[in-house]
Structures are given as structure tokens and as C-alpha cells.
Amino acid sequence: MTIPFEPILFGYSINIHLVLEYLAFFVAFRYYVILRKQSKDSISSINRLSIILGAALGALIGSRLIGLLENPLVEFSQENFIQLINTKTIMGGLFGGLLGVELAKKVIGETSSSGDLFVFPIILGIFIGRIGCFLSGTNEFTYGIQTVSVFGMNLGDDILRHPVALYELVFLILLFFGLKHLQNNSNLKNGALFKWFMIFYFTFRFFIEFLKPNVFYVLGLSTIQILCLICLLYYHKTILNRFKNAS
């Protein structure tokens, strides 16, 4: 198999990343439905639906906005404009979804934490999507910088690059089982699991961004890295409390 992987079906080239992206949404939602049936959800069905809608809208806006800000100085043209409005990033989607949920909860007056049920479906969805990113190689901006290390791979341009999508797949497996262990062996408050998911994932993405060929920087940091710092600042109380309890 060569990368980019572009299978042919009935004479048509299949966009494997797009296929796996849709599959990720479907599988993640079905997993969420199963988990909700197995749990004692303190949030009513109508409020849970409002929260999901808030998350979806926030994720849509956030993913497009951060995708645009990754390269805001691009020369304006009709082709670039179409490409920019189709650009999206999971990081903007996650943080935008978080803000969308908090806004929806304020509107409907819901005070219970709502994120824990989403944690493992989100990880599974990201995992499936990242397989598509890896198979797309240099066709998608999810590849790494050039490297001479043993991890270097030809992702489609005959240059050995860091396969950052593969690195993330390994991290997501560790994160999934690590959070499962935390959930089963710790007396977590409602909502804490989601907070730690966001903290761990955004911390990982902050460091992995140093291995990507970003083109726009502020104070030496990419747009994604700045968003990661904003997210960690958002959860600073959770992080500080953990260090206080450990000392």
C-alpha cells in the first residue's frame, strides 16, 4: 500500500479521509448512545439534546475559525477562499464545542456537568479520523517535518517525515485506557473525567505541533499551540488542585 492511499471503486477515486471522517462521527455517536443507556444520566433527555446541539454548533464554528487562523495571511483568491472555508481542525472543534455546551447550559438553566459521557466516544472518533489523516499522507496538513530518525516515513512527497498522525494514534490508545483506569479506580467528581481528557489531549497537541511544518506563528507558537495554552488556562484550577493534592 502506498501513501497517500487512494482506493479506486467502480472507476472512481475514493477520498479515504472523508470516508473515515464520516465513519468517525457515526461510530462515536453510536458509542455515546450505548454509554448513555448504560449510565444513570442526571440530565433530562431534552436538556441533553440541547447540550448536544450546542456542542455541535460550537464545534462547527470553532473548527472553521481555528482552521482559518492557522494561516490568516494567505493571499486572497476565489480558490484560496473556498479552501479556507473548508478548512477545519479538531482542536477548534473541541474547544468550540466546550464553549457551545457551556452557553447551551446557561440558556436552559442546566447546572449538572455533562462532559463525561462524551469522553470515550470523542477519543474513538478522533482515532478513526486520524487513521484517515495518516492514509491521506501529504494530501492533508497532518504530516510532520522532515526527519532523519528511524520514525521517518515517506508520506507521499519522497521526503522522510515524522508520521505525527501515527504518534497521535498511539497517544490516543494510551489516553483511552489511562482514563478508563482513572474512571474505575478514582473517586472522580462529575465532570472531572472530561476536564482531564481536555488537559491531557491539549497538552499532547501543544508539544506535537513542534513536529509540524506550520507557517504562521505568534511569539514562536502556532495557532493550535496558542489555543492549547488557552484551554489549559481555562482548566488551570483543576491542574493547580491536582498539584496541591499531590504535594
pLDDT tens digits in sequence order for the chain, 247 residues long: 688 887 777 777 888 888 999 999 999 999 998 988 887 767 777 888 888 898 889 988 888 888 877 776 556 555 555 555 556 788 999 999 999 988 988 888 887 776 888 999 999 999 999 999 999 988 877 889 999 999 999 998 999 999 999 999 999 999 999 999 999 988 888 889 999 999 999 999 999 999 998 887 888 899 999 999 999 999 999 998 877 776 5
Predicted confidence at residue 28, as pLDDT, reads: 93
CB 122 within 8 A of CB 55: no
As given in the structure block, the three cell numbers for residue 203 are: 497538552
The answer to whether residue 153 sits within a structural domain is: yes
Residue 52 domain-assigned? Answer: no
Strand duo 12-13 + 153-154: pairing? unpaired
Q: Would residue 50 count as lying in a domain?
A: no
Q: Is 90 left (phi over 0), alpha (psi -120 to 50) or beta?
A: alpha
Predicted local distance difference test score (pLDDT) of residue 13: 81
pLDDT in the model for residue 76: 57
Alpha carbons 167 and 84: distance in angstroms, whole number: 26
Helix %, strand %, coil % of the chain (to 5): 65, 5, 30
- Would you say residue 180 lies in a domain? yes
In the prediction, which pLDDT does 78 show? 57
- What residue numbers bound the domain in which 237 lies? 8-42+112-246
Answer yes or no: is 175 within a domain: yes
Write down the pLDDT at residue 39. Answer: 79
d(CA 245, CA 247): 6
Q: Return left, alpha or beta for 161; rule: phi > 0 is left, psi -120 to 50 is alpha, else beta.
A: beta
- Total domains present in the chain: 1
- State the pLDDT at residue 161: 95
What is the number of alpha carbons within 13 Å of residue 167 lying toward its C-beta? Answer: 19
Q: Specify if 20 maps to a domain.
A: yes
Residue 147 has a pLDDT of 94
Q: Establish if 69 belongs to a structural domain.
A: no
